[in-house]
Amino acid sequence: MSTPVSDTAVIPERPRTLAEKVWDDHLVVKGENGQPDLIYIDLHLVHEVTSPQAFDGLRAEGRALRRLDLTIATEDHNTPTLDIDKPIADLTSRTQIETLRRNAEEFGVRIHSLGDREQGIVHVVGPQLGLTMPGITVVCGDSHTSTHGAFGAMAFGIGTSEVEHVMATQTLPLKPFKTMAITVEGDLRPGVTAKDIILAIIAKIGANGGQGYVLEYRGSAIRSLSMEGRMTMCNMSIEAGARAGMIAPDETTFAYVEGKPHAPKGKDWDDAVAYWRTLPSDEGAVYDAEVFLDANELEPFVTWGTNPGQGVSLSEAVPDPASFADPNERAAAERALEYMDLAAGTPMKDVPVDAVFMGSCTNSRIEDLRAFASVIEGRTKADGVRVMVVPGSARVRLEAEAEGLDKVFIDFGAEWRFAGCSMCLGMNPDQLAPGERCASTSNRNFEGRQGKGGRTHLVSPLVAAATAVLGHLASPSDLPAREKVGL
Amino acid sequence: MDKFTTHTGIAAPLKRSAVDTDQIIPAVYLKRVTKTGFDDALFANWRQDPEFVLNQPAYAGASILVAGPDFGTGSSREHAVWALRDYGFAVVLSPRFADIFRGNAGKQGLLAGVVSEADIERLWRALDAAPGVSMTVDLEAREAVLGELRVPFEIDDYTRWRLIEGLDDIGLTLRDEDKIAQFEARREAWRPRTLPVQ
Ligand code: SF4
């Protein structure tokens, strides 16, 4: 058992989990008699949708934003991905973005606006700037803040009142979360990715299975993942109902952070790494719940229903609602199949799509774009399928262009767009038409999420790419061999 | 948030039960980007009816709402409390509140007092007899006084204390300002900073 070092007053003399260590090291006030703890927030990410009322609340009370140097804003949910130099047509979208710009200026918040190199989805921007790092607390008025847990940070989404609370005090009153260990051991088969692991986990524990928990992903299959893959996994923790997801920092993490614009340097870097090495859960640390998954068994995964827990392996068929023992699940499956216009027993690979969306904070980093490009390169898209590739940030877009990926996308017949949330939630014009079916690398397949009446199948970038080639749900192994470029 | 000890103002009877937050503020008003200025949104649909209680001259400037049971059910929107507050209400009395609404009210300085159904009926009768009459709500004594009529109300000790001290969540946290400052003083240098821009 290691003895973690901390200068906060309360250090329990027992083995602790990663989540407990980060929590303990951010205790400003320990709550007594059932009162919440007061937790310090290291990094506050702000975007245009959930911040306006928080700024207005500060203004109404005459309060300042306490730590401008721990706050950063970007525009993402409403930003157009075409013609970004023209005024935004939708009035609500434009108002939200203009309000953020005004507020940022009035309060002095660093902001990255449309057209700026660092603009992009808030959960892509934090890590690429090196602001997201192990052992810190990160909040944002957005549920997918869980993404940042991939670094061994405690990162979670908050509501607008909490956004105001963090702005005014840089703290939050919180009750400790429960912890769940999700251990994934083994080697992933070729073509199986982080997205498939997390979809399989959510299908296993259910869309509410993580409620109240911080999920800690561990085991050899997790350690073998890149940072991008880890972010994909932690991103979707919220789809299992969890407060947050975390992965212990290791050499992969340090290598990713090192050299990023805001990463610690010199002695600070050495101090940081020394501390970060103490963060992994201690031997014998007790979790409130444990789940195991065999990585060797996993196949590419796809959802058939209208919540992220309704998924199967791509080689399987649409399940029969009658096969669900739980009456609520059965009823939910019936409703989902009706909405999705799918018949039980249909092989998933026989399901044709109208659109493919490659993007969102789940899968829009450079590695995701490379994976997508590696499959489509030298191939042409299926007739009648609309393919949209939306980088997570302006920086990712530039990086992709420097590598020539944009040409691969365009030659394939895909639309190469500017950065933002785009068709992940369709707050901008990027939406599905009613009845359209989409293979999407995003994280939510709720009814109407990608446009009213739209139907979403959540998949990995590799499956999205193969699907774009064949016009029906498919994995790269279903593709005929290419003439020139090998897989 | 202002300190709340007693409040005196015109009381308006809202003789309806299960007033949900969609009635208090319809969803179309949620698109706004402010936290204030929702006075026009309060009961927007009902206010189109000239007979609606708040449209009657006697109740102009009302600041105490005397409502039926299950007030504030439905969606958790905080806007419901903002709209009541912006319109000028300081107090809502009802035999039963939805939990989330009551929580939101406490945070925004709106007193949500639980009064027995029989006492609500008594208040309604007294208000009908003298429309536009003033009522006093005494938070320390947990009592509403309307002329001769005195009715007790319930509110939990913690919320009552917060209202009396005028503490919203942020104000409450700022009581620990020194502890926050101490924590900040010992934060390690390697932790992230967004400024200066690198
Ligand atoms: S990409 Fe989608 S899930 Fe991610 S922050 Fe944007 S809207 Fe939310």
Nearest to B35 among A53, A63, A129 (CB): A53
* Number of CB pairs, chain A paired with chain B, less than 8 A apart: 103
Q: In B, which residues are within 8 Å of A53 by CB distance?
A: 33-35
Which pLDDT score is estimated for A6? 45
Buried b (16+ CB within 10 A) or exposed e, A277-301: eebbbbeebebeeebebebeebbbb
At B32-68, the pLDDT tens digits run 899 999 999 999 999 999 999 999 999 999 999 999 9
Indicate the pTM of the whole model.
0.90
Give the chain A residue nearest B29 (alpha carbons): A92
Integer Cα distance of A376 and A482 in angstroms: 10
Cβ contact (<8 Å) for B173 and A57? no
Residue A452 CB neighbour total at 10 angstroms: 13
Determine the residue type at A120: G
Which pLDDT score is estimated for B2? 86
Nearest to B173 among A38, A68, A269 (CB): A38
At B142-181, the pLDDT tens digits run 999 999 999 999 999 989 999 999 998 999 999 999 999 9
- State ipTM: 0.92
Which pLDDT score is estimated for B76? 77
pLDDT tens per residue across all 487 residues of chain A: 344 444 444 556 799 999 999 999 999 999 988 889 999 999 999 999 999 999 999 999 999 999 999 999 999 999 999 999 888 988 889 999 999 999 999 999 999 999 999 999 999 999 999 999 999 999 999 999 999 999 999 999 998 899 999 999 999 999 999 999 999 999 999 999 999 999 999 999 998 899 999 999 999 999 999 999 999 999 999 999 999 999 999 999 999 999 999 999 999 999 999 999 999 999 999 999 999 999 999 999 999 999 999 999 999 999 999 999 999 899 999 999 999 999 999 999 999 999 999 999 999 999 999 999 999 999 999 999 999 999 999 999 999 999 999 999 999 999 999 999 999 988 888 999 999 999 999 999 999 999 999 999 999 999 999 999 999 999 999 999 886 544 4
| A-interface mutation test, from B32, B34, B35, most A Cβ less than 10 A away | B35
Nearest to A170 among B1, B34, B180 (CB): B180
Which pLDDT score is estimated for A486? 44
Which pLDDT score is estimated for B77? 86
Cα of A360 to ligand 1 centre, how many Å? Answer: 6
Alpha-carbon dihedral of residues B69, B72, B74, B76, nearest 10 degrees? -150
Integer Cα distance of A94 and A117 in angstroms: 20
Cβ contact (<8 Å) for A38 and B170? no
| B-interface mutation test, from A44, A97, A169, A258, most B Cβ less than 10 A away | A169
Please give the full DSSP string across B137-189, using - where no structure is assigned.
EETTTTEEEETTEEEE-B--HHHHHHHHHT--HHHHHHTTHHHHHHHHHT--T
Beta bridge partners of A433: none
| B-interface mutation test, from A7, A70, A77, most B Cβ less than 10 A away | A70
Contact (Cβ atoms closer than 8 angstroms) between residue A130 and residue A262: yes
State whether the beta carbon of A142 lies less than 6 angstroms from ligand 1.
Answer: yes
| Probe target for ligand 1 pocket from A49, A139, A144, with the most ligand atoms within 8 Å of CB | A144
Which pLDDT score is estimated for A4? 42
At A379-411, the pLDDT tens digits run 999 999 999 999 999 999 999 999 999 999 999
Cβ contact (<8 Å) for B173 and A43? no
Which pLDDT score is estimated for A11? 59
For the CA of A362, the closest atom of ligand 1 is: 4
Q: For ligand 1, atom 6, which residue shows the shortest CA distance? A: A421
